[in-house]
Each structure stands twice: as structure tokens, then as C-alpha cells.
Amino acid sequence: MLDVELPVQWRWVTLGDVADPKGRAIVSGPFGSNIGSRFFVEQGVPVIRGNNLTADMRRFVDDGFVFVTEEKAQELKNCEAVRDDLVFTAAGSLGQVGIIPQHSRFPRYIISNKQMRARVNKESVEPLFAFYWFSSPPMVEYVQQRNTGSSVPLINLSVLRSLPFPLPPRSEQCAIASVLGALDDKIELNRRMNETLEAMARALFQSWFVDATQAGLPKSWREGKVSDLATLSRDGLNPGEFPDEIFDHYSIPAFDEGRTPKPETGDTIKSNKFIVSPDCVLVSKLNPRIPRVWLPDLRGENRAICSTEFLIMIPKPGVSREFLFCLFTNESFISVFATMVTGTSGSHQRVKPESLLGMDAVIPPQSLIRSFTEMTAPLLERVNHNIAESRTLAALRDPLLPKLLSGEIRVTKNNLLKW
């Protein structure tokens, strides 16, 4: 996409060429000593960190912040980011980029010492168009290839200012951003809806099975273990033995990028995998301080496999996977599960399968589990429906994006596509 000939009235420029002319439009974050944990407070001005940016075209993760005081934020005013500003990762996961949304939770943010901020000239550039360009896969790869670090990947302000940028007429930028934005708005709406639906299911579980036991076990309940509720499947295969077959691959990266399994041919999958069983729940044993619990949707035509970092939990008779999902995502369960790790490396701590099966659990009557499942199954079914819909929308957006950004497909202000 970077070496294509642009349409008439389009031209190549750099990010520096289209920066806000008012000054300090492209800046790096503060020195680490000025933004360390000793300055963080409970409330104030939020600090953007790596968890707020992605490399999958999600515009901005507007939560999970630490804060600094208003006084500290004023001291770091040159590192401020406001609505329509672009934020880039400068150290670590290069290629991550975000845009402060028009309806952001906060009026201003402070970038961290591992980020850079760019403010475009809005007279010539539509900020959302710029976001889509810099978050497109070719540009993510382009940025990653400009790594100037050794042990830690780095880019600097010079690299950022020199990034290439196609400049169509602003009206066409707005039309392109509108088309892509409409798809992403629906994907984001589905994500938020899923958060609400899952929160409703967890709240029911908390009320029915956690709060109900605070004063002691109700009659007909008993104390037990997770192994009384579920079994562990270890059935596996080597995808390489089926080089031309397409598998739905449930991996850790796929979970982190929207809980959508990636279709991959067997010859591209380099190690043995587990077979994902119907009616199961996947629980990641890797780094359990980051909970990853997945309710697979196996209605596709491809065989489903998963990373061996997942534990495949199958409900026992009288137990449902909806019950297990809510158990494994309950805060009380997660807090205990996270303490059961082995290994000293912070990035490679794991929970042994036997430790999960041996965790304490209360065993409610099957009739109560059945009633709970009847209430929560439609909620979690809708979650999987929304994920599938978002997957379809992303499959439409992804091939469309480079064609729009390069001018191969033209779009008017009325959003009518022209070849």
C-alpha cells in the first residue's frame, strides 16, 4: 500500500508535514522520573499507558487508568493528550496507536514515558482518517521496521515525524473515515453490550451462589472441589498432520484481540493443540492475574483447536457451562486462582491443571443450577452472537480499509463507493 500511485488530487506527505502548526504538535512522554508510581493518586487526570492502546484498530481503551493530581498534570502539560489527538507507543509494543475519542471519559490525559502524541492540522486532516492510516496493518509493520532499540523496541520523534501519510482532499478523508467508522462503531457497540451482558450474568452468580453462602451453606448445599463440577479434557492433535485443513484456532492472542478464533491451516500451526470440545469452557493457565475465560462457539464448519495454555473444562452432569463460566469469572474465584501459580518469571507463570481441579467450591443443588442456566444462557448466547457479528464486520472492514486508504476505491461525501 505504501508504494502505490495515488489518485489525482492525492499526494504523499509526512506526519510532520500535517502536524498542527500551533506548536508542540508532536511530543514524547515525560521522563520516567517525572511520571513514576510515587506520583499516582486515586483520582485526578488519567495517565495513558500501554493497556490503553492496541494494534488491532480499536480506537482507544478508555479505562484501566492510574491518575496524577491536577497540579502534576499542569507540570506535565506539554505531554497532554486531548480529544482527536493520536497516541503512539514509543517503547515496547511498537505499532500500537490510539485516538482520543470525541466522547472520551475525560477532557484530557497525560501520556506515559513510553508514548508519543501527535496533533494534526484539522484544516487539512480529518483525525479519524489519520488514525485509520496509522493503525492499518502496512503502517503497523512499517513502524515496527523502524525499531531503533536493542533489548527494548524503540522509535523516536524523528521516526514519528517522518511517517508517510497519503493526503486526499479533506472531504474525501471524512467520507472514508465515515465508512470505516460506521463498521467500527458497531463492533465497539457489540463489545460494550457484551460487557453488560456478562456483567449481568456474573451479578446473578454472585447473588445466587456467593452472597447466598455468606452466613453459611444453605440446606442441601455442600462443600466440594472444582473437580465435583467439571472434568478436564486433554484430547489433542498435531495440526501439521492435516496441512491443508483449516482449523478455528483458539489462542491467547486471539482471545486478547476480541475473543475470535483465527482460521489457520494446519501447516502454519507449529505445535500440538487440544481439541476444543462442545459444551466446554476454556480457562487460561498462563499468567492468571490476567483472567482469560472463553466460552467457545462451535457452530462453524472448521474443527476447533486451542492452545495448550488453555485448560478445557467440561461440566459434569447436572452442571452447565454457563455456571462454570460465571464461576471462573467470579472475582472471588479469580483472586484465589491467581495465587496458585508456579514459576518465577512474571511473564510465564502458570497454574497446574490439578490445582484448578482441587480448588474449593460450593456445590449447589442441580435444580438451582438449572434455574440459573435458564436465566443466563440467553445472555451468554447473545454474547457469542455479537462476537460472530463483529467478526463478520471486521472481515468486511479489513480488505476494504487498504483499498480506501490508497484510493483504489473512492468514496464520496454521500458514502457511495466508486471504483
User: Residue 161, Cα to own-chain centre: how many angstroms?
Assistant: 27
Grid cell 489525482 is found at: 8
Q: Which residues pair with 362 in a beta bridge?
A: 223
Grid cell 472531504 is found at: 171
pLDDT of residue 349: 87
pLDDT of residue 4: 75
d(CA 56, CA 93): 12
For residues 327-337, average pLDDT: 96
For residues 299-323, average pLDDT: 96
Grade residue 3 by pLDDT with cuts at 50, 70 and 90: confident
With CA atoms as reference, report the closest residue to 81 among 43, 46, 123.
46
d(CA 414, CA 417): 9
Decide if pLDDT at 329 tops 50.
yes
Query: Measured over all CA atoms, what is the biggest interatomic distance in the chain, rounded to whole angstroms?
Result: 77
With contact defined as beta carbons under 8 Å apart, do 86 and 99 qualify?
yes
Does the model's pTM come out above 0.75?
Answer: yes
For residues 202-212, average pLDDT: 96
Distance (Å) of CA 205 to CA 41, 69, 295, 313, 322: 33, 37, 16, 18, 10
For residues 272-293, average pLDDT: 94
Query: What is the SS3 assignment for 199-262?
Result: HHHHHHHHHHHHHHHCCCCCCCCEEEEHHHCEEEECCEECHHHCCCCEEEEECHHHHHCCCCCE
Decide if pLDDT at 415 tops 70.
no
Decide if pLDDT at 346 tops 70.
no
pLDDT tens, position by position, 116-164: 999 999 999 999 999 999 999 999 999 999 998 888 999 999 999 999 9
Q: In what order do the strands lie in the sheet with 86-89?
A: 26-28, 115-118, 86-89, 97-99
**Cα pseudo-dihedral 355, 358, 359, 365, rounded to 10:** 150
Q: Which residues of 122-132 are buried (b: 16+ CB within 10 A; e: fewer)?
A: eeebbbbbbbb
With CA atoms as reference, report the closest residue to 278 among 262, 294, 298.
298
Decide if pLDDT at 419 tops 50.
no
Decide if pLDDT at 186 tops 70.
yes
With CA atoms as reference, report the closest residue to 238 among 316, 303, 172, 152.
303
Decide if pLDDT at 1 tops 70.
no
